[in-house]
Amino acid sequence: MTSQEAFESRGPSSAGSARQRFLVDVIEGLGAPRKTLSPKWFYDRAGSLLFDAICELPEYYVTRTELGIVKSHAREIVAHWGDRVRLVEPGAGSSTKTTLLLEELGPTRCSAYVPVDIAREHLAATAARLRTEIEWLRVLSAAADFTVELPLPPNDDNARTVVYFPGSTIGNFEPHDAERLLARFGRAAGKNGLVVLGVDLKKDPAILHAAYNDAQGVTGQFNKNVLARMNRELDANIDLGSFAHYAFYEPTHGRIEMHLVSRKRQMITIAGRRFHFREGESIRTEYSYKYDLPRSNTSRARLAFRWSTPGSTTTSTSRSSSFACTELPRLRRPLALSKSVAYGKRRFSSMHRTE
């Protein structure tokens, strides 16, 4: 392949099959006793652009904090990745932070960049922009749902595979699902591969609340876009004004919960199926877990977080924007990961809040 070609997944990620999975997920989620939708369905083209707008908001600290980490530590982060690197990014979005790492690797060390994203149209736009901005870059994009598959092109020059998963996306998964996902990434990276992870740390609940309830209401538009997407793609008849955006921090589990709350008693139809809502009944659309970091340099903690330089912590620890970028050791099985990475104080007593 040349740098102008894209790797096309042969798995179940065509536009038609994606619509079918969307429909199946919606029917199952809204048919459950407690209505839910997966946050992955936020990300069509419109949703991806709304999320880009969220990343620019003053209340949303996550992107600018992680971007600051990457700007300050890009050389350290990539220093020991090897002479030839294939950088894979599940849920790539606009690849803002990744550009810094690619430029630090340069044409000599970077074999290819493989962005994987469920939003096919947005992915194509990102790949085209990167090819223009970084002329030497070989972009092999894959339109796929990384929670189902992580398609990889042939590794022609036996480059080291680094799976880069920034942006606190791991927080959208419940602990057991997050463990399995990271283990799958480890298997995809291969024997000598690496997983690089971004995690959002616990902090003042007021800061978290503001980040998901911005003054301009962009997050509310982003949340409601999943309803608009049902109207566009699934022949639904949803009045967006009859649902309200609602997000809050739930301290017992250490997570943000995002909901769409029905403002009235109503019935909606989706692909000919009827769903009833009581006034005040909600659809839970997202979890965003916030994490603790190891307190001491015990063997257990070293297994959990192997930092980009030995003995150091590539982390931002300001009270308003604590965030960490870390490497994980080669992960093969969920059991191994569950022993080494904790997703809450109840799972790992040597965790603490770093702010």
What is the per-residue pLDDT for 164? 93
Element (H, E) at 287: strand 282-289
Tokens describing residue 38: 């997966």
Among all chains, which residue has been given the structure tokens 């298997």? Answer: 187
The string of pLDDT tens digits covering residues 114-125 is 999 998 999 999
Residue 333 pLDDT more than 50?
Answer: no
Q: Which residues contact 20 (CB under 8 A, 6 or more apart)?
A: none
The predicted pLDDT at position 236 comes to 97
Q: Give the list of residues 6+ apart from residue 325 with CB closer than 8 angstroms, or none.
A: 66, 69, 70, 73, 77, 166, 196, 197, 198, 308, 314, 315
Question: With 50 as the cut, is the pLDDT of residue 353 above it?
Answer: no
Q: Which pLDDT score is estimated for 160?
A: 95
From residue 238, give the alpha-carbon distance in Å to each of 33, 266, 275, 288. 20, 10, 11, 26
Q: What pLDDT, on the 0 to 100 scale, is given for residue 175?
A: 87
Predicted confidence band of residue 33 (pLDDT cuts 50, 70, 90)? very high
Q: What is the pLDDT of residue 2?
A: 42
The pTM for the full model equals: 0.83
Mean pLDDT of 171-197: 89
pLDDT (mean) for 126-145: 95
Q: Are 160 and 26 in contact (CB under 8 A)?
A: no
For residue 119, which amino acid is it?
Answer: A
Q: 3-class SS at 250?
A: strand
- For residue 31, is pLDDT > 80? yes
Rg (CA), the chain: 20
Res 43 pLDDT > 80: yes
Q: Where is average pLDDT lowest: 203-217, 298-312, 337-351?
A: 337-351
Q: How far is the CA of 165 from the CAs of 31, 194, 243, in angstroms? A: 32, 11, 32
Q: Residue 81 in 3-state DSSP?
A: coil
pLDDT of residue 199 exceeding 80? yes
Q: In this predicted model, what pLDDT tens digit does every residue of 138-166 receive, in sequence order?
A: 999 999 999 988 999 998 888 999 999 98
The model's confidence at residue 202, banded by pLDDT at 50, 70 and 90, is confident
Question: Quick one: pLDDT at residue 134?
Answer: 96
* Mean local confidence (pLDDT), 43-63: 94
pLDDT at 70 (0 to 100): 86
pLDDT at 110 over 80: yes
pLDDT the model gives residue 314: 54
Domains, the chain? 26-58+211-289 (no CATH), 63-203+295-352 (3.40.50.150)
Looking at per-residue confidence, does 237 or 168 come out higher? 237
Distances in Å between the Cα of 126 and the Cα atoms of 68, 72, 148, 265, 348 are: 21, 24, 22, 41, 39
How far, in Å, CA of 294 to CA of 305, rounded?
8
Confidence of residue 128 (pLDDT cuts 50, 70, 90): very high
pLDDT value, residue 34: 97
Q: Which residues contact 128 (CB under 8 A, 6 or more apart)?
A: none
